[in-house]
Amino acid sequence: MAGRNFLFVPGPTNVPDRVLRAMAVPMEDHRSPIFPELTRACLTGLKPVFKTTTGTPILFPSSGTGCWEAALTNCLNPGDKVLAARFGQFSHLWVDMCQRLGFEVEILDTPWGEGAPVERYLASLAADKQHRIKAVLVCQNETATGVTSDVAAVRRAMDSVKHPALLFVDSVSALVSIDFRMDEWGVDVCVSGSQKGLMLPAGMGVTCVSQKALEISKTAKAPRCYFDYADMVNANASGYFPYTPSVPMLYGLKESLAIIAEEGLENIFARHTHLARGVRAAVFEGWHLKLCATEPKWYSDTVSAIMVPDGINGADVIARAFKRYNLALGAGLARVAGKLFRIGHLGDLNELMLLGAIAGAEMAMLDVGVKIEPGSGVAAAQKLWRNNAPGVSKAAGAKASIAA
């Protein structure tokens, strides 16, 4: 099909041309005397992204899933108990990994469409007088349902009962797109990946580990090898890796971090809020549909999970968009399969690019029988974007205003 594929799944995201050019390098010796310059540029450049001065960034040749496993196996002992909320496919998969690795999981099952249930976290932590819970797991942005949770509130709950558990946060589809504050929120391990807000191809697990978690990892007994923090930290200290890294990915990361620094993190967050408000205008004011996220406080600025009307299969919308309009939309997963489609709006993105996704989704919905007014979603997004500028309203106010 002529023209570019319009990639609007919530990851992988569009890779900027600057990053693609930076990755087009010949292979080189990853043990050469000058290689540490590249390693240190990447690891140092990641610290502001995590908003940390004391945390240690670590890069694994993996997806974010590898960093999930690294957090569990480096910081826990066999059979340890963890506390986790399950409110979407990715929070479910992290729970599943815990169970398959032999950890005991106290699961806070939560309706899909809601976020992390802070009061239930608090109740479980308060009841844990013996401090059997060794780690608390939270997905900052549940990609399957388009829901963002309040990580800071979970930390406040932990602190209010003086619980010593580690705090692990999945920020895969939030980092560099939605505010994340490792030091301020007392996060012990942040899990992310290269293919979302960092605007790289998939294949690099990006994580950051607190000094507390690193100390615990020195005596923790859960088996690990490939994902051993100590191997990475020791090798990185001299600018190298314990095994062969992806050299092109490191060059791409260095360039991506330069792009992020040029725009500025706070401007990036404001841009994502601005873009997300346009999508929500299309959904609510144009198409008169609903999001999977049940309340404005849960609305994600990186992905919108759009519920289709009864009698319509969301998979048909996705297939029509791809085959007829060369537009890739995100699918409904597990218990929301067929009930929704997702528009990813994160990374290297602006209003005109996102209008293409809204227009394509609109045409695909019309083609499969969704009763919406042609052009209504596009017009609603255009109206919002023309009358507002990124950063004019704070994120909370922006979410509330579009829901009103």
Cα atoms in the 13 Å half-sphere on the side-chain side of 375: 1
The yes-or-no verdict on residue 396 having pLDDT over 70 is no
The yes-or-no verdict on residue 394 having pLDDT over 60 is no
The yes-or-no verdict on residue 403 having pLDDT over 60 is no
pLDDT tens digits, residue range 317-346?
A: 999 999 999 999 999 999 999 999 999 999
Average pLDDT over every residue of 299-314? 98
pLDDT tens digits, residue range 14-63?
A: 999 999 999 999 999 999 999 999 999 999 999 999 999 999 999 999 99
For 262-273, letters b (16+ CB in 10 Å) and e give eeebeebbbbbb
pLDDT tens digits, residue range 215-272?
A: 999 999 999 999 999 999 999 999 999 999 999 999 999 999 999 999 999 999 999 9
pLDDT at 402: 37
17-261 and 264-403, same CATH topology: no
Give the span between the Cα atoms of 84 and 79, in whole angstroms: 15
pLDDT range class, residue 2, cuts 50, 70, 90: confident
Secondary structure in 3-state letters for the chain: CCCCCEEECCCCCCCCHHHHHHHCCCCCCCCCCCHHHHHHHHHHHHHHHHCCCCCEEEEECCCHHHHHHHHHHHHCCCCCEEEEEECCHHHHHHHHHHHHCCCEEEEEECCECECCCHHHHHHHHHHCCCCCEEEEEEECEECCCCEECCHHHHHHHHHHCCCCCEEEEECCCCCCCCCCCHHHHCCCEEEEECCCCCCCCCCCEEEEECHHHHHHHCCCCCCCCCCCHHHHHHHHCCCCCCCCCCHHHHHHHHHHHHHHHHHCHHHHHHHHHHHHHHHHHHHHHHCCCEECCCCHHHECCCEEEEECCCCCCHHHHHHHHHHHHCEEEEECCHHHCCCEEEEECCCCCCHHHHHHHHHHHHHHHHHCCCCCCCCHHHHHHHHHHHHCCCCCCCHHHHHHHHHC
Q: Which of 10, 57, 353 is nearest to 173 (CA)?
A: 10
The chain-wide mean pLDDT, for the chain, equals 96
Which class is domain 264-403?
alpha beta
pLDDT tens digits, residue range 181-203?
A: 999 999 999 999 999 999 999 99
As its CATH architecture, domain 17-261 has 3-Layer(aba) Sandwich (3.40)
Cα atoms in the 13 Å half-sphere on the side-chain side of 380: 24
Give the span between the Cα atoms of 140 and 45, in whole angstroms: 22
pLDDT range class, residue 391, cuts 50, 70, 90: confident
pLDDT at 397: 37
The yes-or-no verdict on residue 404 having pLDDT over 50 is no
The yes-or-no verdict on residue 400 having pLDDT over 50 is no
Domain extents in the chain: 17-261, 264-403
Average pLDDT over every residue of 265-291? 98
Question: Strand 205-209 vs strand 189-193: parallel, antiparallel, or unpaired?
Answer: antiparallel
Average pLDDT over every residue of 55-81? 98
Give the span between the Cα atoms of 215 and 219, in whole angstroms: 8
Give the span between the Cα atoms of 360 and 14, in whole angstroms: 17
pLDDT at 372: 98
pLDDT at 1: 80
pLDDT at 392: 41
% of the chain with per-residue pLDDT over 70: 97
pLDDT at 368: 98
Strand partners, 139: 170
